[in-house]
């Protein structure tokens, strides 16, 4: 069965699986999955199991809580079915999904859970999982993304990661990594936990560090209320600020063109490439947090990142054959720098902080996308500050030396300008800036690049600072880029994905790099093995009453 077109835009009024209630400084997000509202028609979302559609709504709720509800200091996520918190990813959905969809689904749910952790760590909006019933597999992984886990002690409710014994796959959204790295569960206990289908409940779950607090049913509401009060007291979210409505994005899809208000995507199916262009702002942009709040979703710095994020997700899920993404920009570099200045000038303002964090998450989504990334810097480009991050994120970059000599009125040569945004506003998964990652282990080169902040760098200057890969002149420009794109299209996409992922994250490992670099790679492999997905594999046999047949050779 072919995968359906996926649209990542939604709104609480259209949710089929979640209910969002806001009461003062606390919000409650209740998971009550509609079994008949899956993205495909060949499965039912029973027992609060989820598919991509459920997580699209969750991601929307995470973002709206951060932007539209600055007064909310604590978010409680809980189950809306009796004795069920969440049964995890829907097995029939996984069994019938294409390999690519399974991997993309796991990656997106990981990113959504990273967004929850980012809210708790950096936005003062702490997430608490009130596990009021069984939390299995992805259900427990959702709880693991929260800053605290509360478990009802009713002698039946348990937390579990049963994927290995039941499905012959790994927990798909970071569970293994978060158990040992975030929760601090001992390795031997984690091993026992991940191979115990019935899970762990009650005091043992506390003793093993799988949950933080338990309470009997009679004391459950009191425990939840107490934890809300305690965590709200530590938050710096403003009490009386007005939120910013995340209005629907302007987007038109016509043939091979996807047009937003600022971002445009042009797809060339012959070469398997998409050109993603970002235009600089027009008009005066906000300079203070209050002006940013007044402009809301119309502010260029917020509108652009939302459109870029949607374009990345659209290409990931709906254009899986397009393996090369080329980034271009058009407009005025100074206008870009003026628009981003509010993120550095008013760092204490809640909205400036949220926009900056959203840019960091979106650029990280770009980093972990399994696509070749190219940036091309030409006369008329505006790769400055925040948009210069696209050059630093690229696997290969080209910058025109000089200008278009055969033009009747040759434009000024291309330039790049770094700003404070490139020094540390947008850390990668390895907790380094993209400049720091580029020059890992070479402090002198990093210092020279950072010293160039604020300067308009021509091609030879950018090359001397090692900020771009190649600087062809106008005679070779078109051929150099064409050959690179055609060459990329001739290589194995599998090998390219592996190569790019190995090159992008140098330096220290973090929980995030382990999840995307180690867990995703293993899951990608396991999802293709007959032990999991073959006709006698565990995903196909699950629920049939027949045991799977395994190839016993270790590889």
- Residue 478, pLDDT score: 96
Overall average pLDDT of the 343-366 stretch: 95
Count the Cβ atoms, other than its own, within 10 Å of residue 213.
17
Q: Does the pLDDT of residue 206 top 60, yes or no?
A: yes
Mean pLDDT of the 110-115 span: 97
Identify the architecture of domain 12-231 in CATH.
Alpha-Beta Complex (3.90)
* Burial of 277 from C-beta contacts in 10 A (0-12 / 13-18 / 19+): middle
Average pLDDT over the chain reads 96
Which of 364, 358, 513 has the alpha carbon at shortest distance from 434?
A: 364
Class of domain 252-503: alpha beta
Which tokens is 515 given?
Answer: 């999840």
Q: Do domains 12-231 and 252-503 have the same CATH topology?
A: yes
In this predicted structure, the answer to whether residue 520 has a pLDDT above a threshold of 90 is no
Q: Which of 385, 406, 410, 388 is nearest to 397 (CA)?
A: 388
| Strand (E) or helix (H) holding 31 | strand 26-31
Domain locations along the chain: 12-231, 252-503
Report the pLDDT averaged over residues 75-89.
Answer: 97
pLDDT band at 160; cut points 50, 70, 90: very high
β-pairing, 84-86 vs 134-136, is parallel
How do residues 294-351 score in pLDDT, each as one tens digit?
Answer: 999 999 999 999 999 999 999 999 999 999 999 999 999 999 999 999 999 878 899 9
Burial classification of residue 474, based on how many CB atoms lie within 10 Å of its CB (0-12 exposed, 13-18 middle, 19 or more buried): middle
Cβ neighbours of 290 (radius 10 Å) = 15
Please give the pLDDT value at position 61.
98
Coil/strand/helix, residue 451? helix
Mean pLDDT value of segment 513-535: 90
Range of weakest confidence among 114-123, 154-163, 254-263, 546-555 = 546-555
Cβ burial of 115 (10 Å; 0-12, 13-18, 19+) is buried
Residues with a catalytic annotation lie at 141, 163
pLDDT-derived band at 517 (thresholds 50, 70, 90) equals confident
Distance CA 447, CA 454 (A): 14
pLDDT of residue 1: 56
């Amino acid at each position: 069965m072919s995968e359906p077109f996926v649209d990542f835009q939604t709104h609480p009024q259209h949710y089929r699986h979640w209910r969002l209630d806001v009461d003062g400084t606390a919000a409650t997000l209740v998971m009550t999955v509609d079994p008949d509202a899956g993205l495909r028609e060949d499965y039912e979302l029973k027992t609060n199991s989820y598919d991509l559609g459920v997580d699209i709504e969750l991601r929307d709720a995470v973002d709206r809580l951060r932007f539209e509800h600055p007064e909310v200091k604590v978010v409680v996520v809980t189950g809306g079915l009796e004795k069920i918190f969440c049964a995890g990813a829907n097995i029939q959905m996984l069994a019938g999904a294409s390999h690519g969809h399974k991997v993309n689904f796991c990656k997106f749910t990981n990113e959504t859970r990273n967004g929850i952790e980012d809210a708790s760590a950096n936005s003062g909006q702490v997430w608490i999982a009130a596990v009021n019933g069984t939390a299995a597999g992805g259900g427990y992984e959702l709880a693991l993304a929260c800053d605290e886990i509360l478990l009802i002690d009713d002698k039946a409710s348990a937390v579990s990661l049963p994927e290995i014994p039941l499905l012959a796959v790994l927990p798909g959204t970071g569970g293994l990594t978060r158990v040992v790295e975030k929760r601090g569960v001992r390795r031997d206990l984690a091993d026992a936990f991940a191979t115990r289908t019935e899970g762990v409940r009650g005091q043992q779950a506390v003793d093993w560090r799988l949950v933080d607090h338990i309470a009997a049913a009679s004391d459950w509401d009191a425990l939840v209320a107490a934890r809300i009060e305690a965590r709200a007291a530590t938050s710096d979210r403003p009490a009386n600020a007005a939120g910013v409505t995340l209005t629907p994005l302007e987007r038109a899809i016509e043939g091979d063109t996807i047009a937003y208000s600022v971002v445009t995507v042009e797809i060339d199916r012959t070469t398997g490439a998409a050109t993603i262009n970002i235009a600089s702002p027009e008009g005066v942009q906000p300079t203070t947090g209050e002006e940013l709040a007044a402009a809301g979703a119309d502010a260029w710095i917020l509108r652009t990142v939302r459109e870029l994020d949607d374009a990345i997700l659209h290409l990931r899920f709906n254009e899986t054959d397009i393996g090369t993404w080329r980034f271009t920009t058009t407009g005025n570099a100074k206008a870009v720098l003026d628009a981003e200045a509010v993120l550095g000038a008013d760092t204490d303002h809640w909205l400036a902080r949220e926009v900056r964090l959203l840019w960091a998450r979106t650029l990280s989504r770009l980093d972990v996308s399994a696509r070749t990334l190219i940036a091309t810097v030409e006369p008329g480009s505006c790769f400055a500050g925040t948009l210069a991050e696209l050059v630093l994120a690229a696997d290969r970059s080209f910058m025109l030396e000089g200008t278009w000599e055969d033009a009747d009125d040759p434009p000024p040569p291309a330039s790049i300008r770094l700003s404070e945004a490139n020094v540390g506003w947008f850390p990668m998964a390895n907790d380094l800036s993209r400049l720091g990652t580029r020059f890992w282990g070479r402090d002198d080169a990093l210092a020279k690049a950072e010293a160039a902040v604020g300067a308009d760098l021509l091609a030879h200057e950018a090359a001397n600072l090692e900020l771009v890969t190649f600087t062809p002149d106008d005679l070779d420009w078109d051929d150099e880029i064409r050959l690179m794109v055609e060459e990329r299209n001739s290589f194995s996409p599998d090998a390219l994905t592996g190569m790019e992922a190995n090159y992008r994250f140098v330096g220290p490992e973090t929980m995030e790099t382990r999840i995307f670099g180690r867990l995703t790679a293993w899951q990608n492999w396991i999802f293709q093995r007959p032990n999991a997905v073959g006709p006698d594999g565990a995903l196909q046999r699950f629920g049939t009453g027949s045991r799977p047949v395994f190839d016993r050779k270790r590889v």
